[in-house]
Structure 1
Amino acid sequence: MNEYSIMKWQQTLKDYQNYLKIERGLSDNTVYNYSHDIKKLIGWLDKNDIRVSPDQISEEEIQQFIYTMAKQVNPRTQSRLISGLRGFFNYLIFEEYRSTNPLELIESPKLGRKLPDTLTLSEIDDILGVIDLSAPQGERNRAIIETLYGCGLRVSELIGLQISDLFFDEGFIKVTGKGDKQRFVPIGNVTMKFIDIYRTEIRVHQEIHPSAKDILFLNRRGKPLTRAMIFTIVKQLTEKAGIRKNISPHTFRHSFATHLLENGADLRAIQQMLGHESITTTEIYTHIDTTHLTQVINQYHPRKDL
C-alpha cells in the first residue's frame, strides 16, 4: 500500500477514535478494541500491497480480508471483527465519505450463547477463606472480592472507585460505568464492614501517591490498582481454593446477578444495579438453571394447581 493510502487510513482511524470518544462517550478500552480491528484491516491491506483508501475499498476486498482472518481466529472473534468494521464504515457513511457499507451483506458466523460460569456461595466462601489476612494485602484483597460480588461491579468500576463515592450512611456507593455514566448501587453491611477494616487498618498507614488520594483500592506503592492486577489476584485465589472453573473478576458480577435473580429479585432492579441500558444484556448475565425456572412456574403461575 502506498504512503498516501496508509496516511489516509491512519487519519480516518484517528477521526473515528475521536468520534467514539467524544461524541459517543465510549471508554478508552472500548475505543482501543474498535481501533484494533481496523488496524488489522490496514495491516492486511499493506501486507498484500492493496492500494485502496477507506472510501474506495470494495465488498470483495473486505470479504477477502475476513476470509483470511477466519482461518486465524475463532468464530466469536470473527463476529466481533465484522461488527467493529461495520461500525467503522457506518461512521464513514454518516460523515458522507461513502454511500455504502462494504459489510452490508457479510454475515457474522452463528454463535451459540455460551453461558458464563458462576460461583456458588460455598465457592465464594472458599475463595475468601484462602486469603491470608496476616499478609499486608490480605484485608485489601478480601474487601476487593466482597465488593466485586457484593455490588456486581465491572473491573474498571472497581479500580476507579473513590472514597468520596462511598455513601455508607445511606447504604449506597456511586459507580462510574461505561461512557462515564454514573449510577448508585446499594451496598450491604458485610461489604461495608470489610471496606472499613481495609480503610482504617491498612490504607490509612500507607504512603499514598498524590494522584491517588481519593482512590479506594491501592497497590503497595500507594497507587491505583490496574485491571491486570485484579485479574491476577482473582486467578491466584481461585487456584489456591482449588476451583477449576474459568473464573475472572467478571464471574463475581455474573454470580451477583444470578444469585439475586434466583432469590426473587426483579430483573429491572438488577438491570439498574449492573448499569445495563438494555434488559436483554441483563438476561445474558443472569443465566439461571431450569430447576429454578420450574420452581417459579410452580409457585407463581395462576393455573399451577388446575
Structure 2
Amino acid sequence: MSTTVSTDNPDDPIAYFLEDLTYHGKTERTRDAYGRVLRRFEAFLADPDRNPSGDALTPAEATHRDCMAWVHTLRGTVTDSTIASYAAYLHRFYAYMTQVGVFESNPMTLVVEELDETIEKDPTRREISIDQMRSFVSDIHHPLDQALIVTLLKTGMRVGELCNLDLRDLALDDNEVETAFDGSPRPQLATRPNSLYVDSEPAVGERVNGEERTASNKRKRATIIPVDEELQRVLKRWLAIRPDSLSPAEPLFVYTTGEWGQRLTPRAVRTVVTEHAEAAGWYDTGGDAADNVTPHYFRHFFTTHLRDRTGDRGVVKYLRGDVADDIIDTYTHNWGGQVRATYDANIYSILR
C-alpha cells in the first residue's frame, strides 16, 4: 500500500528530505550521514531478491515489515548502537515526510518502539544502590563537581547535552538567582519553573546561541526535565561562584581553572567523574564499562532506578529523549501533569 500523498510527490523523496535538512541548517557532515543510510535502505527496497515483498519498491511504498526486514539485514554487520542510529535516521526521514504531507504515515514508528525493547544500549554494569550513591555524592565538595554529577544523576542526560546547556536553558523559581543573572529563560520554560531545557539541535561545529559547539546532543526531540529541590540547591550553589563567561551563549557550566570561564567540554566532565570514581574505588584504568563508573553510568543509574520506581516506561523514555515524535508530543503537552507529577513523586533523594 502506498503511503504517498498525490498532491505532493517529489521524484526523489530522499533528495527532497536532504535538501530540507540544508534549509534547516544541518551541517554537510550530518546530511552525508543521513544520505548514506537512506540510500542504503533505498537500494534494499529496490532489490526484489532482498526485500520481503519480492518486488522493487520505493521508500513511499515501504511497509513496517519492509523496514523491519532491512533492520534485520544490518545485524551481524554493525553494532547494536549503530543499528539504533540507522533506525533513528530512517524514522526521522519518515516522520518529517509525513509531517510535510509527502507521505501518509510513518512505517518506522512501530519498528523504533520494538528496537527500544530489544536493543540493550547498556552492558551489564556495576550495581550501585541509592544509599551508596548518596555516600559518593556526600564526598564531593567542590560546587562545580557536585553540580555536574548531581545534574547527571537527576536528569539522565548525556555528557554532551550537559556541556551544551546555557543559562537560558535553566529556569529556577528563586529570586536570588533571577536577580543575579541578566536575561530570561527560553520561552518554552516561561510557564515551567524549576526545569531544564535539553535541546536536540546542538551538533559539533554548528553555531548555537552565538557559540560554535564542540559537542553534540543526541536526543530525538527537545525535552523539558523537572528540577527538584536537591538539584535546585546544588545549581544555586554553583551559580553563586560561577565565573563570568565571554561567550554570548552564557554556558551554564564553565571552567574554574585553566580555561577560566570557557564552556566545559565532555572530556573535562569525564575527568571530574573519573577522579571521584577512582577515589570511591569505582574506576580502574583499563577497566570496562561493566566495572567503571563514567558519566554514562549516571544515565544508566537514572534509567534503572526511575523506571523501577515509576513503572512508567513512557515517562522515563521522554526524560531520556529516546521516544518518537508522536509519543514525545503527548508528554510535552501534558508536562505539568503526568511528567512533572511522576518525576516529583518518584525521583530519588541523592543528598544527605
TM-score, normalization: structure 1? 0.53
Deviation at 1:172, TM superposition (A): 0.9
Residue 242 (1) aligns with residue 281 (2): yes
Q: Counterpart in 1 of 2:246? A: 209
Q: Counterpart in 1 of 2:130? A: 121
Residue 230 (1) aligns with residue 269 (2): yes
Structure 1 residue identity aligned to 2:280: A
User: Measured at CA, do residues 241 and 39 of structure 1 come closer, stay the same or move farther in structure 2, by a change above 3 Å?
Assistant: farther
Q: How do residues 177-216 of structure 1 correspond to structure 2 at under 5 angstroms?
A: 177-178=199-200, 181=222, 183=224, 185-188=226-229, 190-201=230-241, 203-204=242-243, 208-212=245-249, 214-216=250-252
Q: How do residues 108-187 of structure 1 correspond to structure 2 at under 5 angstroms?
A: 112-114=118-120, 116=122, 117=125, 119-125=128-134, 127-128=136-137, 131=140, 133=141, 138-164=142-168, 165-169=170-174, 172-178=194-200, 181=222, 183=224, 185-187=226-228
Residue 259 (1) aligns with residue 295 (2): no
User: Measured at CA, do residues 215 and 239 of structure 1 come closer, stay the same or move farther in structure 2, by a change above 3 Å?
Assistant: same
Structure 1 residue identity aligned to 2:232: M
Structure 2 residue identity aligned to 1:225: L
Q: How do residues 263-282 of structure 1 correspond to structure 2 at under 5 angstroms?
A: 263=309, 273-274=319-320, 277=328
Distance in 2 (alpha carbons) for counterparts of 1:237 and 1:163: 26
Distance in 2 (alpha carbons) for counterparts of 1:139 and 1:113: 37
Distance in 1 (alpha carbons) for counterparts of 2:102 and 2:119: 36
Give CA deviations for 1:269-297 in whole Å, capped at 9, x if unaligned.
Answer: 65665565278xxxxxxxxxxxxxxxxxx
Task: Tell me the secondary structure at the aligned position of residue 226 of structure 2.
Answer: strand
Structure 1 residue identity aligned to 2:46: S
Deviation at 1:242, TM superposition (A): 2.4
CA contact (8 A) 2:17 2:97 kept: no
User: Measured at CA, do residues 38 and 231 of structure 1 come closer, stay the same or move farther in structure 2, by a change above 3 Å?
Assistant: farther
CA contact (8 A) 1:151 1:187 kept: no
TM-score, normalization: structure 2? 0.47
Deviation at 1:185, TM superposition (A): 0.9
Deviation at 1:255, TM superposition (A): 2.5
Q: Counterpart in 2 of 1:303? A: none
Find the partner of 2:78 among 73, 81, 89.
Answer: 73
CA contact (8 A) 2:277 2:293 kept: yes
Equivalent pairs: percent with the same residue? 19
Distance in 1 (alpha carbons) for counterparts of 2:72 and 2:222: 38
Deviation at 1:177, TM superposition (A): 3.5
CA contact (8 A) 2:37 2:89 kept: no
Deviation at 1:15, TM superposition (A): 1.3
Distance in 1 (alpha carbons) for counterparts of 2:171 and 2:134: 25
Deviation at 1:145, TM superposition (A): 0.5
Distance in 1 (alpha carbons) for counterparts of 2:231 and 2:279: 22
Residue 218 (1) aligns with residue 254 (2): yes
Q: Counterpart in 2 of 1:39? A: 36
Q: Whose helix fraction is larger, Structure 1's or Structure 2's? A: 1
User: Measured at CA, do residues 11 and 144 of structure 1 come closer, stay the same or move farther in structure 2, by a change above 3 Å?
Assistant: same
Distance in 2 (alpha carbons) for counterparts of 1:94 and 1:199: 40
Task: Please identify the structure whose Cα radius of gyration is greater.
Answer: 1
Distance in 1 (alpha carbons) for counterparts of 2:316 and 2:97: 37
Deviation at 1:230, TM superposition (A): 3.2
Distance in 2 (alpha carbons) for counterparts of 1:128 and 1:184: 21
Q: Counterpart in 1 of 2:46? A: 58
Give CA deviations for 1:64-95 in whole Å, capped at 9, x if unaligned.
Answer: x9999766523552464366457658978999
User: Measured at CA, do residues 246 and 40 of structure 1 come closer, stay the same or move farther in structure 2, by a change above 3 Å?
Assistant: farther
Report how many aligned residue pairs link the two structures. 245
